[in-house]
Amino acid sequence: MSSVQIRDVRKSFGNFEVLHGVSIPIEDGQFVVLVGPSGCGKSTLLRMLAGLENITSGTISIGDRVVNNVQPKERDIAMVFQNYALYPHMTVAENMGFSLKLRNAGSDEINKRVKRAAEILALSPLLDRYPRQLSGGQRQRVAMGRAIVRDPQVFLFDEPLSNLDAKLRVAMRTEIKELHQRLKTTTVYVTHDQIEAMTMADKIVVMHDGIVEQMGTPLELYDKPENQFVAGFIGSPAMNFLKGHVRVNGVATFEGPNGVKLPLKSAPAGSDGRPAVYGVRPEHFTIADDGAEAEIVVVEPTGSETQVFAKVGGEQVVAVFRERHQFNPGDKVRLKPDPSVVHLFDEATGKRM
């Protein structure tokens, strides 16, 4: 186990810079999730950490050692690939023991460690099978087994669940988290799925267009997004954004599209009249007489909750209710955002106000 320091790392492919100076401190034993839309540079960063891509500038250190020029095999890391990258001509046991065999470990030692890893991952009955004879979830577990057999300093996961079906994905999510709690190995996990990030991470790093937008615990990011991108990326259904202006005359309010009045707890100093974006999460709407007038467009019950798409001031918003309201499309209701948890963003910069 080791800490990992990523300091001002840049990466260019030819003249095209894909990472514009990324710094991420990772503590020993932490589970860090890099999340962002495709093309944000998160996989590239992970591959640089693994040593599969060169570092254009900046430094990456594992423990106390700067690893910029250290060969992948000497970095003492293990990686789980998106397509698992299992060796098709080796059995499960051979796949898991391959790295030990390359290090000239004795066959007793290999057997012992493979067996232990197989027990942790419930792979014991499958040790003699070939990857082809396994299901997606089993292959996923073998890929993880291959990583834990080595007992490395750092685990790297590159979108490991994206090839699984939805149900299995949820199950494996729990399994990976449980494994981390058990082994406490520093883990860097890349995904584009914010739910995976939220559920698994000790620390989430939201990346976008080659920069870090925000880092923090899942709930920090959820409750206090630093900018509009993070606010929109974290949370499902996504946060509603309404453009308008801050008005301070006695009480602070927000004048939304078509003059809709929306409540604010307080307005930042000197923000009167400034163009801004009003952000409210779907679950922070209530039905109240002093709410903004809304016309219901679509109602989507999921059982545990109901998603309601409605037009507020001509803009579509989504609200989620735990209660079972009897709504029909075309109904007029009054939606009131909870002013204590709404977010205000500068319209020009997208920064939190």
Partner 1 sequence: MAVIAEPVAAQVKRSSLWSRAFESRNFLGAMFMVPAIAILILFLAYPLALGFWLGMTDTKIGGVGRFIGFQNFVSLSKDSVFWLSVFNTLFYTVFASIVKFAIGLYLALLLNERLPFKSMMRAIVLLPFVVPTVLSAIAFWWIYDSQFSIISWVLIKAGLLTNYIDFLGDPWNARWSVVIANIWRGVPFVAITLLAGLQTISPSLYEAANLDGATNMQRFRHITLPMLSPIIAVVMTFSVLMTFTDFQLIYTITRGGPINATHLMATLSFQRAITGGNLGEGAAISNAMIPFLVAAILLSFFGLQRSRWQQGGRD
- Measured at the alpha carbon of residue 240, what is the angle toward residues 236 and 244, in degrees to the nearest 5? 165
Q: How far apart are CA 204 and CA 182, in angstroms?
A: 20
Query: Applying CB under 8 A, does 200 fall inside the site for partner 1?
Result: no
Contacts with partner 1 in 110-139 (CB under 8 A)? 130-135
The amino acid at 125: P
**Residue 56 vs 307, nearer CB to partner 1:** 56
103, 112, 324, 325: residue in contact with partner 1 (rule CB under 8 A): 103
Query: Applying CB under 8 A, does 98 fall inside the site for partner 1?
Result: yes
**Residue 52 vs 171, nearer CB to partner 1:** 52
Minimum CB separation from partner 1 for residue 192, in Å? 18
Query: Applying CB under 8 A, does 309 fall inside the site for partner 1?
Result: no
Q: How far apart are CA 333 and CA 62, in angstroms?
A: 56
**Residue 71 vs 328, nearer CB to partner 1:** 71
Minimum CB separation from partner 1 for residue 92, in Å? 11
Contact 230, 221 (CB under 8 A): yes
Q: What strands lie across the sheet with 240-249, from one edge to the other?
A: 261-263, 251-255, 240-249, 275-280, 343-346
Question: Contact region for partner 1 (CB under 8 A) — 3-11, 21-29, 84-92, 167-175?
Answer: 84-92
| Residue 344 burial class via C-beta count within 10 angstroms: exposed 0-12, middle 13-18, buried 19 and up | buried
Query: Applying CB under 8 A, does 14 fall inside the site for partner 1?
Result: no
* Residues 245-274 as x/- pattern, contact with partner 1 by CB under 8 A: ------------------------------
Q: How far apart are CA 48 and CA 168, in angstroms?
A: 29
Contact 50, 156 (CB under 8 A): yes
**Residue 155 vs 254, nearer CB to partner 1:** 155
Q: How far apart are CA 91 and CA 73, in angstroms?
A: 22
- Give the contacts of 73 (CB within 8 A, at least 6 positions apart): none
**Residue 73 vs 324, nearer CB to partner 1:** 73
Query: Applying CB under 8 A, does 69 fall inside the site for partner 1?
Result: no
Minimum CB separation from partner 1 for residue 133, in Å? 5
Q: Per the structure block, which two tokens stand in for 350?
A: 């997208």
Query: Applying CB under 8 A, does 182 fall inside the site for partner 1?
Result: no
Minimum CB separation from partner 1 for residue 279, in Å? 39
Q: How far apart are CA 322 and CA 301, in angstroms?
A: 10
Query: Applying CB under 8 A, does 89 fall inside the site for partner 1?
Result: yes
Query: Given the rule CB under 8 A, which residues bind partner 1?
Result: 50-52, 72-73, 77-79, 81, 83, 85, 87-90, 98-99, 102-103, 130-135, 146, 150
